[in-house]
Amino acid sequence: YELRQYETAKWVSTVIRGETQKEAMRQGFWKLFHYIQGKNEKEMKIDMTVPVTCLIKSGCADFKVSFFVPFEHQDSPPQPTDSDVFIEERKAAAVFVRSFGGFASPEKYAEEAEVLARTLRNRGQPFHEDFFYTAGYDSPFKLFNRHNEVWYFKK
């Protein structure tokens, strides 16, 4: 694993409730994709960025799917016109990251998160155990050298 320091940044997000993680990711992706395609108050097209993250909270059936807002729009991202889509500011944070390849399923993300959690516990690293993020970096059409991550926030 690695420890990264992320600066405060804005993300465009949506929360999908009561679906499987796979279905929540699909629905969330399309809501956010419509936002960057111009479903915002400026009717502005915005470049797709990576990663696409999904917040997983233990014992919770809500999934927050997010796109990173490109640097040129960080100061004033266009407001979404879909009431289910919102801009959020994530505070600066230290994040433990485990990277892995292949096509990531919800099961694979959970497995990798468990490996990371176990490693952090064994090394006495304090972290927020009640949630983690999945991070995907590749289009579904990329077949090789795929990059995925799981993130736990340092306490």
Q: Write the CB contacts of 115 (distance below 8 Å, at least 6 apart in sequence).
A: 98
Question: What are the phi and psi torsion angles at 17 (to 5°)?
Answer: -110, 145
pLDDT at 140: 82
Domains of the chain, residue spans? 2-153
pLDDT at 117: 98
pLDDT at 105: 95
Mention the CATH class of domain 2-153. Answer: alpha beta
Q: Write the CB contacts of 8 (distance below 8 Å, at least 6 apart in sequence).
A: 89, 90, 91, 92
What confidence tens digit (pLDDT) does each residue in 104-155 have?
999 999 999 999 999 999 999 999 999 999 999 998 889 999 999 999 999 9
Q: Label residue 41 by pLDDT band (50, 70, 90).
A: very high
pLDDT at 92: 98
The pTM assigned to this predicted structure is 0.96
What confidence tens digit (pLDDT) does each residue in 63-97 have?
999 999 999 999 999 999 999 999 999 999 999 99
pLDDT at 141: 87
Distance of CA 126 to the CA centre of its chain: 21
pLDDT at 16: 97
What confidence tens digit (pLDDT) does each residue in 16-32 have?
998 999 999 999 999 99
pLDDT at 1: 98
